[in-house]
Amino acid sequence: MNLDAIYILWLREIKRFMRSKSRIIGSLAFPSLILIIIGTGLNSVFTFGRLSYIEFLAPGMIGMVLLFSSISFGIMIIWDRQFGFLKEILVAPISRTSIIVGKTLGGVTTSMFQALLFLIVCFAIGIKFPSPLRLVLLFIVMILIAIGFVLVGIAFSSRMKDFHGFSLIMNFVILPIFFLSGAFFPLDRLPEWLKWFVYVDPLTYGVDALRFCMVSTSTFPLWLNLLVLIAFGTLATSIGTLLFRTTQL
Amino acid sequence: MSSTVIQLFDLKKYFKEVKAVDGVSFSITQGEIFGLLGPNGAGKTTILNILCTLLKPTSGTATICNYDIRKDKDAVRRSIGIVFQDPSLDDQLTASENLDLHGRLYHIPKDKRQWKMEELLELVELSDKKNIMVKNFSGGMKRRLEIARGLLHQPQVLFLDEPTLGLDPQTRRHIWEYIRKLNRDTKVTIIITTHYMDEADVLCHRVAIIDRGRISAINTPTQLKKQIGGELISIKTEDEFCPEQPWIKSVNKHDGYINLTVEEADQKLSSLMKIAQEKGITIDAITIHKPTLEDVFLHFTGKTIREEESSWADDVRMRRRSRSR
How much is the average pLDDT of A139-145?
A: 97
User: Residue B60: left (phi > 0), alpha (psi -120 to 50), or beta?
Assistant: left
For B285, other C-beta atoms within 10 Å of its C-beta total: 9
Amino acid identity, position A198: V
Buried b (16+ CB within 10 A) or exposed e, A227-245: ebbeebbeebbeebbebbe
CB contact under 8 A, B92 and A20: yes
Say whether pLDDT at B144 is over 80: yes
Separation CA B72–CA B54 (nearest Å): 13
Say whether pLDDT at B307 is over 70: no
Which of the four pLDDT bands, split at 50, 70 and 90, describes residue B323? Answer: very low
| Cβ-proximal residues to B44 (8 Å cutoff; 6+ apart), any chain | B36, B38, B161, B193, B195, B210
Contacts of B101 in chain A (CB under 8 A): 8-9, 12
**Chain B contact for A19 (CB, 8 A cutoff):** yes
| Best to test chain B binding among A14, A16, A91 (most B CBs inside 10 Å) | A91
**Chain B contact for A161 (CB, 8 A cutoff):** yes
Say whether pLDDT at A249 is over 80: no
Which H, E and C letters describe B60-82, residue by residue? EEEEECCEECCCCHHHHHHHEEE
Separation CA B215–CA B35 (nearest Å): 12
* H helix count then E strand count, chain A: 13, 2
Handedness of CA A211, A217, A223, A227 (dihedral sign): negative
Per the CB < 8 A criterion, the answer to whether B120 and B103 are in contact is: no
| Cβ-proximal residues to B194 (8 Å cutoff; 6+ apart), any chain | B35, B36, B37, B162, B163, B164, B200
Say whether pLDDT at A81 is over 50: yes
Contacts of B107 in chain A (CB under 8 A): 2, 4-5, 93
Amino acid identity, position A27: S
pTM of the model: 0.81
From A12's Cα to the closest Cα of chain B, the distance in A is 8
Separation CA B108–CA B125 (nearest Å): 22
Contacts of B88 in chain A (CB under 8 A): 83-88
Short-list B80, B46, B51, CA closest to B150: B80
| Best to test chain B binding among A9, A83, A88, A248 (most B CBs inside 10 Å) | A88
Per the CB < 8 A criterion, the answer to whether A203 and A178 are in contact is: yes
Question: Residues in chain A, how many?
Answer: 249
How much is the average pLDDT of B79-90?
A: 89
Give the pLDDT confidence score for residue B1 in this predicted structure: 46
SS3 A32: helix
For B182, other C-beta atoms within 10 Å of its C-beta total: 21
From A192-201, A234-243, B46-55, B252-261, the region with the lowest mean pLDDT: B252-261
SS3 B260: strand
Contacts of B93 in chain A (CB under 8 A): 12, 15-16
Q: Please, is B236 exposed, middle or buried when counting C-beta atoms within 10 Å of its C-beta (0-12, 13-18, 19+)?
A: middle
Per the CB < 8 A criterion, the answer to whether A145 and A229 are in contact is: yes
| Best to test chain B binding among A7, A9, A85 (most B CBs inside 10 Å) | A85
From A157's Cα to the closest Cα of chain B, the distance in A is 14
Helix (H) or strand (E) holding B158, with range, is strand B157-161
Say whether pLDDT at B324 is over 60: no
Separation CA B1–CA B3 (nearest Å): 7
Separation CA A123–CA B118 (nearest Å): 48
Give the pLDDT confidence score for residue B325 in this predicted structure: 38
**ipTM computed for the complex:** 0.86
Per the CB < 8 A criterion, the answer to whether B175 and B145 are in contact is: no
Tell how strand B33-37 and strand B206-211 pair up.
parallel
Per the CB < 8 A criterion, the answer to whether A211 and A142 are in contact is: no
What percentage of chain A has pLDDT greater than the value 90? 63
Mean pLDDT, chain B, rounded, equals: 84
From A31-40, B16-25, B150-159, B287-296, the region with the lowest mean pLDDT: B287-296
Separation CA B322–CA B11 (nearest Å): 24
DSSP state letter for B310: I
User: Residue B84: left (phi > 0), alpha (psi -120 to 50), or beta?
Assistant: beta
What percentage of chain B has pLDDT greater than the value 70? 91
Contacts of B74 in chain A (CB under 8 A): 93
Give the pLDDT confidence score for residue B2 in this predicted structure: 62
| Best to test chain A binding among B49, B85, B92, B94 (most A CBs inside 10 Å) | B92
What percentage of chain B has pLDDT greater than the value 90? 31
How much is the average pLDDT of B191-197?
A: 89
| Of residues A5, A19, A20, nearest to B105 (C-beta) | A5
Contacts of A20 in chain B (CB under 8 A): 92
From A134-143, A203-212, B158-167, B306-315, the region with the lowest mean pLDDT: B306-315
Give the pLDDT confidence score for residue A84 in this predicted structure: 85
The CB-based long-range contact list for A235-238 (8 Å cut-off, 24+ gap) reads A236/A147, A236/A148, A236/A149, A236/A151, A236/A152, A236/A155, A237/A104, A237/A147, A237/A151
Per the CB < 8 A criterion, the answer to whether A1 and A95 are in contact is: yes
Give the pLDDT confidence score for residue A181 in this predicted structure: 94
Give the pLDDT confidence score for residue A7 in this predicted structure: 94
- B-facing residues of A in 61-120 (CB < 8 A) are 83-94
Pick the residue from chain A with its C-alpha nearest to B107.
A4
**Over the stretch B275-303, which tens digit does the pLDDT of each residue have?**
888 888 888 888 887 777 877 777 777 66
How much is the average pLDDT of A186-209?
A: 93
From A94-108, A157-171, A219-233, B210-224, the region with the lowest mean pLDDT: A157-171
Separation CA A101–CA A81 (nearest Å): 18
| Of residues A4, A83, A91, nearest to B77 (C-beta) | A91
